[in-house]
C-alpha cells in the first residue's frame, strides 16, 4: 500500500510521463494524418497492459499502481468536464437555428438506425455462447448492443472539430449539436438497460426525467440568470477571480448532478456551457480555462481508457468475422444513416458525407459504456474486445475520411479555419 | 469501499463545495482585514473534523470519505507546484541583485535564530512526559523543533505578497528570495532529523546534495537551455500548445524530483520558474496557467491541511503556557531576527518591520512538517496541537501586522500596487 504522500509524488511523475508520451504519439499520429487526440488515445494503449505492460510489466506496475487509478480517473473527469463546458461555451447556437431541422434529423437518424442494427446483432449473438452474461435476456442484450452502437464520441468529435478548424462553422455546429443530443439519448438508453437488469425502473426515470429537467432549466432559467455575468465581465474588462470561481463551481455542480442521475458529467458540463453568456464573456472564459485544461488535464482522459484496454482477446477467425459484421453495422448504421438524413434535409453531398464521417467515430465514450456493460456482467470480455475493435477502427477512420470527403475541398475554397496542428 | 467512478463523482461535489466555502470564508476573512488565503485555510478547518465533522459527522464523512483524501491531496499538490512555479516565473531577479546581501542576511537570521530557540525548547520539553515519542533522543528533539520553528510559509508568503500588491516590488522580491532559501534549508534540516532517526545518513545526503545540485543545474545550464523558448514564443506571438505542454511536463518532473529527494515539490517548481525566460514568455505563461491554478486547484491545498487539523487537543493551563512560550519564541526568533538582520543591512525601519511580519507566518508548510513528525512518531499529538496553534496564530498575525507597520504608509505614498482584493 502506498501512502497518500507517495501517491501524490507518483502522480507528478505520471503526469510528466503521460504528457511526454502523448506528445510523441501525437506527433506520430500527425505523420499519418491523424489528429492529436487519436495520438493521445494510442498513447494510453501504449502505456497500458497492451504494450508497456507486456514489455516491462514491473515498470508499468510501478508507474501506474492500481491505487493511483482513482486519482488519474478523477482528475481526467474534471479535465473532461471543463473541456466539454468550453465546447458548450463556444457553441454558436445562432448558427444552429438555421439548421435546426438538419440537426434534429441527423441526430434521430444517427440514433435510431444504429440502435436497430445493434439490437438485431444483440438478438443474434445472445444465442451464441460466451458473448453475454448468463442472466441477460434477449431484450436486455438487444437494448445494450443498440445503445453501444448508437453512441457518439462526443468529446472526440469536439476535439476533431477543433483540430480541423471547424469550430464556429455551420457544419461543425450542426455536428456538435447532433452529437450532444445523441450522447444524452444513449445514456438514457443505457439507464433503461441497467433498470431492466436491476428490475428497478426508478433508475431509468431518474436519468431521463432528471436529464430533461436539467437541460430545460439550465437553458431557460439558467441562461437568464447567468446573462448579467456577461455584462459585468465586459464592464470590468475581464472575468475577475470571484466570478471565475463561481462559474467553475457551477461546472462542478452540473457535472456532479448529471453523473449522479446517470447521464454522465460530459452532458451536464456541456449544457451549462451552452447557457453561458456569449461574446466577450465566452472568449475570456476560454482564454482563462482552455490552456491548462487542454495541455494538462484533458490528455489524462484520452489516455486513461487506453490504460484499461486489452487488444489480445479477439483471437479466432469466427470472432474476427463477428467483429467485421459489428463494424459494418456500426458504420452503416451511424455514418450511413447520418449522411442520408443530412442529404434528405437539403445539405449538399460533401457536407452530408462530412457529417457522416464525424458522427461515425465512437471514441472513448464507447469504452465507457462497454466498461459498464462488462462490470455489470452484461457482456463477456470477448464481446467487449470485439466492440473495442469497432470503437478504435471507427475512431481512426473519422479524421482521414473527413479530410478525404470534405476537408481538402473546403480548405481549398477557404471554408475552413486554420488546422490546429500545433 | 467506493468505486473509482463513485470517487470521481464525489470529487466533483467536493470541488464545488470547497470552492463555495472558500469564497464564503474569504469574504468573511476580508471583513476582518485578513487575506483571501487565510480564509481558505480557515475554510479547511471549517470543513474538517473541528466544525463540520463535529456538527454533522455523517455528512462530513460522506462528503470527505477517507478514500478520497489521496485524490484531494494529489490534486492539491499539483496546484501548489503550478502556483509556486508561477511565483518563480514572476520573481524579478534583477531586483534581487541590488539587495542580495539583505536577502542573504535575512534568510540566515530567519533560519538560525528560530532554529536555536526551537532547539532550546526541544531540549527543555524532551524532559516533560507526553511531548515526544519514546525513541526520540534530545539531539533529535532539538533538531526537529528547531526545524519546525525555522520554517517559513513560502506559499502563504507568496500569496500574501500577491494579494497586498507587493509582486514585482523590491521588498516583495527580497522577502520571496529569503523565504525560498529558508524553505529549502528547513527541508534539509528535516532530512537530517529523519536520517538521524533512521540511522541512515544517505537520506540527508540525498536531500542536501540533490537539492543543491538541482538548484545549481537548473539555474545555470537549465536557464541557458530554456532561453530559446522565450524568443520562439515572442516570434509566434503566443506560447503554443506543444511548448506549454513541454513546460508543464518539466514542472511535473521538477516537482517529482525534489519530492523524491526529500525537499518537497514546492522548491523544485519554484526554482524551475526562476530559470524560465522572462518578459513576454513569463507574462504569457502566467496568463495561461494562473487563472485555473488559482481559481480551482490552489484552494485545494490551502483547505486540505485544515481538513486534517484538530484544535481540541490543547486543553490544560500548563499546555496553554507551553503554547505561549512556543509562540513567543517563534515570533521573536523569526520575526524579530529578520527585522534585526534587515535593519543591520541598511533597510529602513518600516521595510525591516514589514519583512519581519511577512517572514513570521508559518502557514501550512508548518503543518506539513508537523504531520511528518507526527507520522514518524517524533512528536505526540499534544505537542503537535501546540505547534498548530503557533502556526495558525503567526499566520493570522502576518497580514494585519504588515498593513499596520508598512502597508498603509506605503499605499499612501504610492509605493504599493493595487490590493488584489477581488
- CATH code for the domain of A398: 1.20.1530.20
Would you call A30 an interface residue with chain B, using a CB distance cutoff of 8 Å? no
B13 contacts on A by Cβ (under 8 Å)? 252-253, 256
Cα–Cα dist B396/A260, whole Å = 39
Give the end of a domain, one of B25, B40, B70. B70
B302 contacts on A by Cβ (under 8 Å)? none
Give the end of a domain, one of B50, B70, B90. B70
CA A149 to chain centre: 13
- The verdict on residue B284 lying in a domain is yes
**Between the CA of residue B336 and those of A27, B178, B246, B328, B358, what are the distances in Å?**
56, 15, 43, 10, 11
At B292, the pLDDT band (50, 70, 90 cuts) reads very high
Pair (B139, B275) in one structural domain: yes
Q: How many beta-carbon pairs below 8 A join chains A and B?
A: 157
Mean pLDDT score, A20-24 = 92
Count of H helices and E strands in chain B?
22, 0
Contact B23 A255 (CB under 8 A): no
Instruction: Return the percentage of chain B with pLDDT > 70, whole number.
Output: 96
Q: Hey, what long-range contacts does B122-130 have (CB within 8 A, 24 or more apart)?
A: B122/B146, B125/B322, B125/B383, B130/B380, B130/B382
Pair (B66, B183) in one structural domain: no
Pair (B326, B345) in one structural domain: yes
Burial of A26-65, coded b for 16+ CB within 10 Å and e otherwise, reads beebbeeebbbbbbbbbbbbbbbbbebbeeeeeebeebbe
Residue-wise pLDDT tens digits, A288-305:
999 999 899 988 887 786
Contact A7 B292 (CB under 8 A): no
Backbone φ and ψ of B403, nearest 5°: -60, -40
Residue-wise pLDDT tens digits, B21-31:
999 998 888 88
Residue-wise pLDDT tens digits, A67-108:
898 999 999 999 989 988 998 898 777 777 777 777 888 888
Instruction: Return the percentage of chain A with pLDDT > 70, whole number.
Output: 96
Contact A15 B78 (CB under 8 A): yes
Residue B379, classed as helix, strand or coil, is strand
Pair (B9, B110) in one structural domain: no
Rounded to a whole number, what is the distance in Å from the CA of B297 to chain A's nearest CA? 11
Helices (H), A334-380: 337-344, 349-359, 363-375
Pair (B250, B220) in one structural domain: yes
Instruction: Return the percentage of chain A with pLDDT > 90, whole number.
Output: 32
Cα–Cα dist B107/B182, whole Å = 6
Pair (B51, B114) in one structural domain: no
**Does the structure show a pLDDT above 80 at A184?**
no
Residue-wise pLDDT tens digits, B124-167:
988 888 888 888 888 888 988 988 888 887 877 888 888 877 87
pTM: 0.87
Residue A379, classed as helix, strand or coil, is strand
**Does the structure show a pLDDT above 60 at B286?**
yes
- The verdict on residue B421 lying in a domain is no
Contact A69 B256 (CB under 8 A): no
**Does the structure show a pLDDT above 80 at B238?**
yes
Domain containing residue A88: 82-412
Cα–Cα dist A145/A237, whole Å = 50
Q: In sequence order, what E strands does A267-351 have?
A: none
- Any idea of the CA torsion for A241, A247, A248, A252, to the nearest 10 degrees? 160
Pair (B35, B84) in one structural domain: no
The mean of the pLDDT values for chain B is: 86
Select the residue of A12, A20, A289 nearest B256 (Cβ to Cβ).
A12
Largest CA distance in chain B: 66
B256 contacts on A by Cβ (under 8 Å)? 9, 12-13, 16
Cα–Cα dist A173/A352, whole Å = 13
User: Is A191:A208 a contact under the CB 8 Å cutoff?
Assistant: yes
Q: Which of B105-109, B134-138, B286-290 has the highest mean pLDDT?
A: B286-290
Contacts of B146 (CB under 8 A, 6+ apart): B114, B115, B116, B118, B119, B122, B189
**Does the structure show a pLDDT above 70 at B173?**
yes
Mean pLDDT score, B77-94 = 87
Q: What sign results for the dihedral spanned by CA atoms A19, A25, A27, A29?
A: negative
Search chain A and give the residue with CA nearest B70: A4
B16 contacts on A by Cβ (under 8 Å)? 249-250, 252-253, 256
- The pLDDT of residue B418 is 57
User: Is B37:B303 a contact under the CB 8 Å cutoff?
Assistant: no
- The verdict on residue B404 lying in a domain is yes
Cα–Cα dist B421/B407, whole Å = 14
- The verdict on residue A154 lying in a domain is yes
Would you call B16 an interface residue with chain A, using a CB distance cutoff of 8 Å? yes
Cα–Cα dist B254/A16, whole Å = 9
At A417, the pLDDT band (50, 70, 90 cuts) reads low
Mean pLDDT score, A235-255 = 94
Pair (B271, B176) in one structural domain: yes
What DSSP line would sit under B31-99, residue for residue?
Answer: HTT--HHHHHHHHHHHHSTTTHHHH-HHHHHHHS-GGGHHHHHHHHHHHHHHHHHHHHHH--HHHHHHT
Contact A8 B256 (CB under 8 A): no
**Does the structure show a pLDDT above 50 at B219?**
yes
Backbone φ and ψ of A354, nearest 5°: -60, -45
- Please identify among residues 146-175 of chain A the ones whose CB lies closer than 8 Å to any CB of chain B: none
B242 contacts on A by Cβ (under 8 Å)? 23, 422
Give the end of a domain, one of B21, B42, B70. B70
**Does the structure show a pLDDT above 60 at A155?**
yes
Pair (B33, B182) in one structural domain: no
The domain total for chain B is 2
Would you call B7 an interface residue with chain A, using a CB distance cutoff of 8 Å? yes
Residue, of A249 and B262, whose pLDDT is higher: A249
A386: left (phi over 0), alpha (psi -120 to 50) or beta: alpha
- The verdict on residue B262 lying in a domain is yes
Mean pLDDT score, B27-47 = 83
Instruction: Return the percentage of chain B with pLDDT > 90, whole number.
Output: 32
**Does the structure show a pLDDT above 60 at A376?**
yes
Pair (B96, B245) in one structural domain: yes
Pair (B394, B252) in one structural domain: yes
Q: What sign results for the dihedral spanned by CA atoms B91, B96, B101, B105?
A: negative
A249 contacts on B by Cβ (under 8 Å)? 15-16, 19-20, 23
- The verdict on residue A306 lying in a domain is yes
Would you call A253 an interface residue with chain B, using a CB distance cutoff of 8 Å? yes
Pair (B57, B92) in one structural domain: no
Backbone φ and ψ of A137, nearest 5°: -95, 165
- The verdict on residue A316 lying in a domain is yes
Interface test with A, best of B10, B11, B77, B251 (most A CBs within 10 A): B11
Cα–Cα dist B62/B45, whole Å = 17
At B222, the pLDDT band (50, 70, 90 cuts) reads very high
- The verdict on residue A65 lying in a domain is no
**Does the structure show a pLDDT above 90 at A371?**
no
Residue-wise pLDDT tens digits, B308-366:
666 666 677 888 888 899 999 999 999 999 999 888 888 888 888 988 888 888 876 78
At A17, the pLDDT band (50, 70, 90 cuts) reads very high
Contact A9 B259 (CB under 8 A): yes
Amino acid at each position: 500500500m502506498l501512502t497518500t504522500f507517495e501517491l501524490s509524488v507518483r502522480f507528478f511523475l505520471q503526469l510528466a510521463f503521460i504528457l511526454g508520451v502523448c506528445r510523441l504519439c501525437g506527433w506520430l499520429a500527425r505523420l499519418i494524418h491523424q489528429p492529436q487526440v487519436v495520438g493521445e488515445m494510442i498513447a494510453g494503449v501504449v502505456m497500458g497492459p497492451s504494450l508497456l505492460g507486456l514489455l516491462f510489466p514491473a515498470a508499468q506496475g510501478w508507474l501506474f499502481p492500481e491505487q493511483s487509478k482513482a486519482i488519474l480517473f478523477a482528475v481526467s473527469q474534471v479535465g473532461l468536464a471543463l473541456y466539454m463546458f468550453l465546447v458548450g461555451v463556444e457553441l454558436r447556437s445562432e448558427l444552429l437555428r438555421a439548421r435546426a431541422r438538419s440537426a434534429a434529423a441527423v441526430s434521430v437518424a444517427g440514433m435510431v438506425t444504429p440502435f436497430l442494427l445493434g439490437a438485431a446483432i444483440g438478438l443474434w449473438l445472445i444465442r451464441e455462447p460466451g458473448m453475454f452474461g448468463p442472466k441477460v435476456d434477449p431484450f436486455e442484450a438487444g437494448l445494450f448492443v443498440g445503445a453501444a452502437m448508437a453512441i457518439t464520441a462526443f468529446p472526440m468529435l469536439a476535439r476533431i472539430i477543433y483540430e480541423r478548424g471547424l469550430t464556429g462553422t455551420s457544419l461543425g455546429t450542426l455536428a456538435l449539436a447532433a452529437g450532444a443530443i445523441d450522447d444524452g439519448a444513449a445514456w438514457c438508453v443505457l439507464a433503461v438497460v441497467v433498470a431492466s437488469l436491476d428490475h428497478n425502473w426508478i433508475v431509468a426515470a431518474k436519468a431521463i426525467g432528471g436529464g430533461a429537467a436539467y437541460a430545460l432549466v439550465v437553458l431557460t432559467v439558467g441562461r437568464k440568470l447567468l446573462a448579467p455575468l456577461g455584462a459585468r465581465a465586459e464592464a470590468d474588462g475581464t472575468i475577475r477571480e470571484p466570478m471565475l470561481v463561481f462559474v467553475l463551481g457551477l461546472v462542478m455542480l452540473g457535472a456532479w448532478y448529471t453523473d449522479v442521475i446517470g447521464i454522465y458529467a460530459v452532458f451536464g458540463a456541456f449544457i451549462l456551457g451552452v447557457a453561458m453568456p456569449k461574446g466577450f464573456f465566452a472568449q475570456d472564459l476560454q482564454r482563462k480555462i482552455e490552456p491548462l485544461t487542454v495541455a494538462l488535464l484533458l490528455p489524462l482522459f484520452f489516455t486513461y481508457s487506453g490504460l484499461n484496454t486489452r487488444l489480445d482477446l479477439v483471437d479466432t477467425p469466427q470472432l474476427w468475422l463477428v467483429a467485421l459484421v459489428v463494424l459494418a453495422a456500426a458504420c452503416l448504421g451511424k455514418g450511413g444513416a447520418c449522411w442520408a438524413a443530412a442529404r434528405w434535409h437539403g445539405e449538399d453531398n460533401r457536407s452530408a458525407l462530412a457529417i457522416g464521417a464525424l458522427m461515425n467515430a465512437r471514441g472513448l465514450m464507447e469504452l465507457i459504456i462497454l466498461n459498464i456493460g462488462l462490470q455489470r456482467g452484461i457482456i463477456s470480455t470477448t464481446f467487449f474486445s470485439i466492440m473495442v475493435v469497432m470503437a478504435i477502427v471507427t475512431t481512426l477512420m473519422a479524421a482521414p475520411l473527413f479530410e478525404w470527403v470534405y476537408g481538402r475541398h473546403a480548405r481549398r475554397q477557404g471554408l475552413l479555419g486554420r488546422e490546429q496542428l500545433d
